[in-house]
């Protein structure tokens, strides 16, 4: 596969799976944790949005469900394998989320410096995560940015409760040592929620 995006553009996982092959062009990781109320997902992991798989793994730890969709193409992973969040309908992901109360989706975005954008229909979770990041000295925006994640079909909102949170991280927060600060800041919030 050349890595070129099929024409017409991808409309969902069914289109993607016709054009690309699991085990060659992408991988799917599903790790279920008995009794977990929370799933941490990276729908654009691997080489699609570098560093998001690693951040998602660190956030999920051994306590929470983990889902990763990871691009493994040599080139053009974003262009070829990036399913827009409200079109992300990979069946294993949706099955996991259908039985999960809370969802946190980890994404990567452009931008300079260390900045996190938080969205999603679970505004209480969004705001708790943003406060934890700010307490750790990481700038976090919750409104007035291009990643509100309010669409009901956005994958972060496909859990049992119909609402979740989306975390968009600039390169500086996912490609280097700062990614550990993100996980350290957010894990206590997730542990408190996940046990409730």
- Cα 48 to Cα 5: distance, rounded to the nearest angstrom: 13
Judge whether 189 and 195 are in contact, CB under 8 Å. Answer: no
Query: What pLDDT, on a 0 to 100 scale, did the predictor assign at position 175?
Result: 83
pLDDT in tens, 7-55: 445 789 999 999 999 999 999 999 999 999 999 999 999 999 999 999 9
* Residues linked to residue 117 through DSSP beta bridges, in sequence order: 141, 168
- Cα 78 to Cα 171: distance, rounded to the nearest angstrom: 14
- Cα 152 to Cα 59: distance, rounded to the nearest angstrom: 24
Query: What pLDDT, on a 0 to 100 scale, did the predictor assign at position 8?
Result: 46
Cα angle, residue 87 at apex, residues 86 and 89 outer, rounded to 5°:
110
Query: What pLDDT, on a 0 to 100 scale, did the predictor assign at position 13?
Result: 96
Q: What is the pTM of this model?
A: 0.94
Residue 84: partners with Cβ closer than 8 Å, 6 or more residues away:
none
Neighbours of 50 (CB within 10 A): 17
For the chain, the first-to-last Cα distance in angstroms comes to 46
Q: What is the DSSP letter of 151?
A: -
Domains delineated in the chain: 13-195 (3.40.630.100)
Mean pLDDT by 10 residues, the chain (196 residues): 50 93 97 96 97 97 97 95 96 97 96 95 97 97 95 97 97 90 97 76
Residue of 13, 14, 22 lying closest to 155 (CA atoms):
13
């Amino acid at each position: 596969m050349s890595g070129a995006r099929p024409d017409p553009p991808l409309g969902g996982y069914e289109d993607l799976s016709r054009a690309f092959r699991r085990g060659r062009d992408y991988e799917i990781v599903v790790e279920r944790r008995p009794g977990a109320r929370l799933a941490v997902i990276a729908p654009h992991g691997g080489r699609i949005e570098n560093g998001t798989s690693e951040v998602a793994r660190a956030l999920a730890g051994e306590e929470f469900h983990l889902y990763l969709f990871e691009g493994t193409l040599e080139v053009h992973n974003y262009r070829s394998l990036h399913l827009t969040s409200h079109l992300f309908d990979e069946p294993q992901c949706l099955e996991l989320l259908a039985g999960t109360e809370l969802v946190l989706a980890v994404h990567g975005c452009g931008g300079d410096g260390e900045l996190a954008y938080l969205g999603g229909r679970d505004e209480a979770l969004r705001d708790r995560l943003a406060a934890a990041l700010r307490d750790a000295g990481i700038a976090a925006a919750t409104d007035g940015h291009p990643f509100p994640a309010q669409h009901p079909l956005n994958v972060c909102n496909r859990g049992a409760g119909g609402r979740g949170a989306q975390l968009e991280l600039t390169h500086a927060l996912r490609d280097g040592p700062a990614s550990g600060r993100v996980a350290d800041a957010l894990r206590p919030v997730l542990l408190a929620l996940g046990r409730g």
